[in-house]
Chains A and B, each alone.
Chain A
Amino acid sequence: MQNPDENPPAVKMASADTNAGPIDEPGAPELVPQIVQDAAAVSPAHSSKHGLISRVTSAAMPTMIAIIAWFVPGLGHLLLRRWERALAFFVAVGGLAVMGYLMRGNVFAPHSEDPFGTLGFLADASSGVFYLVAHVLEKSGPDVARAMGDDGTRFIAGAGIINIMGVCDAFAVARGHKH
């Protein structure tokens, strides 16, 4: 004969439910403490304060990864142990941004009355730390009167847009929606 203590909680609940009948009968109230007790036995971490903190931390982790991936292109993937993607995004975003600055492309300021200027700022700022070092690499300022300066503006905006792709991918990987 099988020892009832060795049964998993789900089996115990099912057998209790079978004997108890409808939920409003006298046997039903005894099920509630049994279910809570069994759930605590299966995953004690979820019933404790530390378990709650752990769940909150795991829920916030994809957001943290996304912020890190935005600030330093490729670092989000590096923390997720996706080495190839980390290297690819760092090289692509960094290469585009640095090339754009060296071609004297236009770096859009945060406050712009032109809507396209605002969109340009959002695209440029999406390259994270590379946006912050723009004034270091582009000391002479933009020169969009020349064709190469105009191309540089596209390089800088392209870097930010590619980094947004990387941020979205790192977020999806951190949430477990993608390999």
Chain B
Amino acid sequence: MFLGHLHHLTAMLIFAALISIAVGSLARRTTKRRLQYILWTFLMFVLFSIATAWCLYPLSR
């Protein structure tokens, strides 16, 4: 099995989801608050990644 055909965005989403699960599980005490924090971390991760990508876009041309 080889995942070389993955799109960059897909790889970034998977990376963000897995990191968010680990970080979010450390942050809060109750399960509900943890799930909320995992979702919040994931959304911020994706948002800042896309924002950073657009900021760097002019440099790539």
Chain A residues at the B interface, C-beta cutoff of 8 Å: 84-85, 88-89, 91-93, 95-96, 99, 102-104, 140, 143, 146-149, 151-152, 154-155, 158, 162, 165-166, 169, 179
**Per-position 1/0 for B17-28, Cβ under 8 A of A:** 011011111100
Contact of B3 among A89, A93, A148 (CB under 8 A): A148
CB distance from B32 to the nearest CB of A (A): 12
* Complex CA–CA separation, A149 to B24 (angstroms): 27
User: Across the interface, do A84 and B31 meet the contact criterion of CB distance under 8 Å?
Assistant: yes
5 contacts between A and B (CB under 8 A): A91-B21, A96-B15, A102-B3, A104-B4, A165-B22
Confirm or deny: B1 has a beta carbon within 8 angstroms of a beta carbon on chain A. Answer: yes
Q: Chain B: which residue is nearest A77 at the CB level?
A: B25
Contact of A148 among B11, B15, B26 (CB under 8 A): B11
Given contacts A99-B18, A103-B6, A152-B3, list 12 more A-B pairs with CB under 8 A: A84-B34, A88-B21, A88-B24, A92-B21, A103-B2, A140-B2, A148-B11, A151-B8, A155-B15, A158-B18, A158-B19, A169-B26
Given contacts A103-B3, A103-B6, A104-B2, contact A151 B11 (CB under 8 A): yes
User: Across the interface, do A92 and B3 meet the contact criterion of CB distance under 8 Å?
Assistant: no
Given contacts A85-B25, A85-B26, A148-B11, contact A92 B18 (CB under 8 A): yes
CB distance from B27 to the nearest CB of A (A): 11
* Complex CA–CA separation, A97 to B4 (angstroms): 15
Confirm or deny: B29 has a beta carbon within 8 angstroms of a beta carbon on chain A. Answer: yes
Confirm or deny: B14 has a beta carbon within 8 angstroms of a beta carbon on chain A. Answer: yes
User: Across the interface, do B21 and A158 meet the contact criterion of CB distance under 8 Å?
Assistant: no
